[in-house]
Structure 1
Amino acid sequence: MSPMPSTTPAKHRRPGTHPAALGEETPLGRKRRARRINRTLAEAFPDAHAELDFSNALELLVATVLSAQTTDARVNMVTPELFAKYPTAEAYARANQGDIEAIIRSAGFYRSKAKNLIGLGQKLVADYGGEVPEALEDLVTLPGVGRKTAHVVRGNAFGLPGLTVDTHFQRLTKRLMLTEDTDPVKIERAVAELIEPAEWTMFSHRIIFQGRRVCRARKPACGVCPIAFDCPSFGAGPTGPEAADLIKGEVRL
Structure 2
Amino acid sequence: MCVAENFRALRDAVIRAAMLLGTDRVYFVAPLVRDARTGRVLVEAGLPKVWARHYRSALHQIDPILQHAIHVSAAFIWPRDIDYEKLTDQQRRFMKIAARYGLESGIGVACYGPQGRAGFLGMTWSQDTPASDEMLLAVHQVGQVSFQRYCQIVKENFKLTPLSNRELEVLSWMCGGKSNPAMAKIIGVSRSSIDAYIRRIFAKFQVTDRTAACMRAYSLGIVASDEVKNMVELARKRDEEGS
TM-score per shorter chain, which class?
Answer: under 0.3
TM-score, scaled relative to structure 2:
0.25
Q: Would you tell me which structure has more strand in proportion to its own residues?
A: 2
TM-score, scaled relative to structure 1:
0.24
Could you say which structure has the greater relative contact order, defined with CA pairs below 8 angstroms and 6 or more residues apart? 1
